Amino acid sequence: MSAEILTFFIFVLSVFLGFELISKVPSMLHTPLMSGTNAIHGIILLGGMLVLANAENFLAVGLGFIAVIFGSANVFGGFMVTDRMLQMFKKKKK
């Protein structure tokens, strides 16, 4: 099996896993969950870092720099805002 096919295999499995993971979530957690998954796709920061590291001309460095800022805001802001939402879900203090 070639490497491309193997990656594609992982992709297909992930699709099904994503469906399974969310199908059992109560609707009260939908907003925090949307926010949490939003933070997870902030992994694009890695992509931004990789392209910026290998950027060779002025344009590529500039665009890579913006990509890193965007990705960083997505990942850090995303996890922080989700944590802020979730820290409020607690039982009544008796």
Partner 1 sequence: MSSFIAITFIAVAVLFILGIKLMGSPKTARLGNLIAAAGMLIALIATLPLLSHGDFPGSHGWTMNYTLMVVGIVIGLVIGAIGAYSVKMTAMPQMVALFNGVGGGAAALVASLEFLKRVSSPEGITAFFAITMLFATLIGSLSFSGSIIAFLKLQGHLEKPRTFPGQNIFNGLILAVILGLCAYLTGWGASTPLFVTMFVLALVFGVAMVMPIGGADMPVVISLLNSFTGLAVAADGFTISNISMIVAGTLVGSSGTLLTLLMCRAMNRPVTNVLFGAFGSTTSGGGAAGTDASGRTVKPIQADEAAILLGYAQQVVIVPGYGMAVAQAQHQVRELSDELGKRGVEVRFAIHPVAGRMPGHMNVLLAEANVPYDQLCEMEAINPTMDRVDVCLVIGANDVVNPAAREDKSSPIYGMPIIEADRAKTVIVMKRSMAAGFAGIENLLFYKDNTRMLFGDAKASLQTLIAQLKAS
Q: Which of residues 41-70 bind partner 1 (CB under 8 A)?
A: 41-56, 59-61, 63-70
Positions 21 through 40 that interact with partner 1 (CB under 8 A): 21-40
Positions 5 through 24 that interact with partner 1 (CB under 8 A): 7, 10-11, 14-19, 21-24
Nearest distance from C-beta of residue 77 to partner 1, angstroms: 3
Nearest distance from C-beta of residue 1 to partner 1, angstroms: 15
Residue 2 is a binding residue for partner 1 (CB under 8 A): no
User: What CA–CA distance (Å, rounded) separates 30 from 38?
Assistant: 12
Q: Are 82 and 32 in contact (CB under 8 A)?
A: yes
Q: Give the distance from CA 44 to its chain's centroid.
A: 7
Residue nearer to partner 1 on the CB measure, 1 or 61: 61
Nearest distance from C-beta of residue 8 to partner 1, angstroms: 8
User: What CA–CA distance (Å, rounded) separates 67 from 51?
Assistant: 9
User: What CA–CA distance (Å, rounded) separates 82 from 38?
Assistant: 9
Q: Which two tokens stand for residue 28?
A: 């009260």
